Structure 1
């Protein structure tokens, strides 16, 4: 483990302490899990971009016209 100093807004820190007590864990464990979760979401987003990179694109104006043609606008 690596030690770091993080500054939280007072209400965020209080919420973290309360949640940590409720789930019988430490604030550090909560923060580490939240960061892992955020990084996992980033990884999934990057994979989705990679998977869709060869899909045809449509600019916003074309998209609006299509919605109108389809009776959705």
Structure 2
């Protein structure tokens, strides 16, 4: 599959920082952007996995948490 092209608009300071990082790491801007997107997607996958694993855990209403903190003198 061929690489896809797209236009991304970055804030000028972000773009300058990306260009500096590209120059100092000998990696292209495309490589850096791809790596950042892949990492963000990986983090999302980890979060979804954790959510699935914890979805069957019992929950406590926030109001009860506050009540317990007050009872224990922490609030």
**TM-score, normalised with respect to structure 2:** 0.88
Return 5+ residue gaps in structure 2 as ranges. none
Q: Which residue pairs with 1:6 in the alignment?
A: 8
1-side partners of 2:14 and 2:63: how far apart?
41
Return 5+ residue gaps in structure 1 as ranges. none
**TM-score, normalised with respect to structure 1:** 0.90
2-side partners of 1:4 and 1:49: how far apart?
32
Cα distance, 1:62 vs. partner?
Answer: 0.6
Kindly report the root-mean-square deviation, in angstroms, between the aligned alpha carbons of the 2 structures.
1.1
1-side partners of 2:36 and 2:72: how far apart?
41
Cα distance, 1:67 vs. partner?
Answer: 2.1
Q: How many residues align?
A: 73
Displaced runs of 4 or more, over 6 A: none
Q: Within 5 Å, which residues of 2 pair with 1:20-35? A: 20-35=22-37
1-side partners of 2:54 and 2:73: how far apart?
27
